[in-house]
Structure 1
Amino acid sequence: MVQAILRLPAVKAESGASRSTIYLRIQQGLWPKPVRLGPRSVGWPASEVAAINAARIAGKTDDEIRELVAKLEAARKTAGKAL
């Protein structure tokens, strides 16, 4: 399965959040950490961005979103081991 990686401008457009808000949410555990693409570039899996947006639209609490972020990041590690 091929998964798109969104760079920051696309993530900002998809989420409606600014760069500083995205990185603040990462610190707060409310947004998944980026995936390193190279020495000076990062991105986020499109499916993770969509999942967080859906949770926000559904009115999930910050604690529920933190749980979702933890699950998304854990799924990355298990997917990486499968390769």
Structure 2
Amino acid sequence: MHANDNTPTLVSLNDAARMTSLSRTMVNRYRAEGRFPSAIPLGDRRIAFIKSEVTGWIQARIDAVRTERAAA
């Protein structure tokens, strides 16, 4: 990807699970509950996630823990 290319990077379900340290099952459960970024359908049996949304989700979890610790 070029520095001025704004095309989102897609990551697979396996990659999203690795990035978050969650199992595929938990990623799918969180998706079903609306607690994880939406998947982008790529084909009949293939989905992907926008990498920046997954990293944003991770950062939000980190921020929530830090806020809770600071309030304690």
Larger radius of gyration: 2
Residues 25-83 of structure 1 deviation map (CA, whole Å, 9 limit, x = unaligned): 112211022100112210000010011000001116xxxxxxxxxxxxxxxxxxxxxxx
The structure 1 residue matched to 2:32, chosen from 18, 27, 30, is 27
Shift of 1:3: 1.1
Unpaired runs of 5+ residues, structure 1, are 61-83
4+ residue stretches of structure 1 with deviation over 2 A? none
Identity of aligned residues (%): 23
Over the aligned positions, Cα root-mean-square deviation in angstroms equals 1.2
- Say how many residue pairs are matched: 60
Shift of 1:4: 0.7
- TM-score, length of structure 2 as denominator length: 0.76
Q: Which has the higher helix share?
A: 1
Unpaired runs of 5+ residues, structure 2, are 1-5, 66-72
